Amino acid sequence: MILLGLTLILVIILLAPFSYKKAEEELELFLLLMGIAAVSLSAQWSVLLLREALTEPIKISCAVFFAGLLFKFFQKPIADNVNKIACRLGIKLFVFMVIVVLGFLSSIITAIVAALILVEIVTHLKLAKTHEIFLVVMACFAVGFGAALTPLGEPLSVITIAKLKGFPYQAGFFFLLSHLGIFIVLGIVLFAFFAAAAIPDMRGNVYGFTARKAEGRAAIALRSVKIYFFIAALVLLGKGLKPLVDAYVIKIPAYGLYWANMLSAVVDNATLAAAEITPGMNLLQIKSALLGMIVAGGMLIPGNIPNIICAGKLDIKSSQWARYGLPLGLIAMTLFFFLLTAIH
């Protein structure tokens, strides 16, 4: 009965954000309630779990807040110098450098702030709108890759480290870097290269997107609070769903987990990490599952935080994103699958 109940909770988590608008709008609260339900059903409440749920979100929440303030300070200089730098470097080299730098920086300044910087840059480039959408999609793929390098980058990293910090993996700050670094570095460079190759040398005289109003301190603080509750919810969810994972997920072969996590295109990859990753998996299963989540996370808007931020601020429609994200994501999934199998 417990496994049946947990299965029902997992199905609700996967489907509710698409069928119930309130769940999508208040995702943090929704996941927190689901996490509480899962832990209660599986009878896993403890002082240690409460302490973990309260403390694990602190680092990334603080990183989001202070990096957001730092971005606010540098927002005007970025806007004033985008076109000057682009003209000096040439648009192709500029695009390559922007994606590479944001990809790697996202592991420090968070994927959220990297996405905000990307929005600021794109709104001041004189590119055709279709080219700007392509640039945004490619850059969000790269940011999604880079943010996975450290637990400061995005919720997926935080929740993975939290779930694997005990025996047998003793995961620390650089756990994901040491095990997925080669895939992440290659991914960032490849997405930057293909974006630069596809962007035309010449620019027009009309902006594809309109610059948006700068965020206030209250908005930055609110976003940090939401991230805090999001991570706390994932900690509870991961613990509550552990019996289900131990019973079924760890029996799935590593390469099966890789392809199964194409689900990350429509479900936030941190939610999937909370539901799937467990110390009971072997290292190849963990790497395969996480790599599948990271690659597929850029395919559609709901898959990753930078996608959601950029699409929302630039008013990119789901069909516009899918036009580039789906084919590029499928190519990337195939490429990294062959790389994963070659290495292992």
Q: Mind listing the pLDDT tens digit of every residue in the chain (344 residues)?
A: 788 999 999 889 888 877 777 887 788 899 999 999 999 999 999 999 999 999 999 989 998 898 888 888 878 887 778 888 888 888 999 999 999 999 999 999 999 999 999 999 998 887 888 899 999 999 999 999 999 999 999 999 999 999 999 899 999 999 999 999 999 999 999 999 999 999 887 655 555 555 556 678 888 899 899 999 989 999 999 889 889 888 888 899 999 999 999 988 888 888 889 989 999 999 999 999 999 999 999 999 888 889 989 988 888 988 999 999 999 999 999 999 999 999 87
The secondary structure of residue 153, as a DSSP letter, is T
189: nearest Cα among 311, 262, 107, 102 = 102
Closest alpha carbon to 253 in 300, 289, 290, 215: 289
Distance CA(235)–CA(20), nearest Å, equals: 23
- Determine the pLDDT at residue 1: 78
Tell which residue, 337, 338, 183, 322, has the closest CA to residue 260: 337
CA distance 192 to 198: 10
Contact 225, 61 (CB under 8 A): yes
According to DSSP, residue 213 is labeled P
Q: Which residues contact 97 (CB under 8 A, 6 or more apart)?
A: 89, 192
Helices (H) and strands (E) in the chain, counts: 16, 0
Measured CA to CA, the distance from residue 214 to residue 74 in angstroms comes to: 11
The pTM of the full predicted model, rounded to 2 decimals, is 0.89
Q: Could you tell me how many residues make up the chain?
A: 344
Burial class of residue 44 (count of CB atoms within 10 Å of its CB; 0-12, 13-18, 19+): middle
The pLDDT, as a whole number, for residue 289 is 96
For tokens 């429509």, the residue is: 266
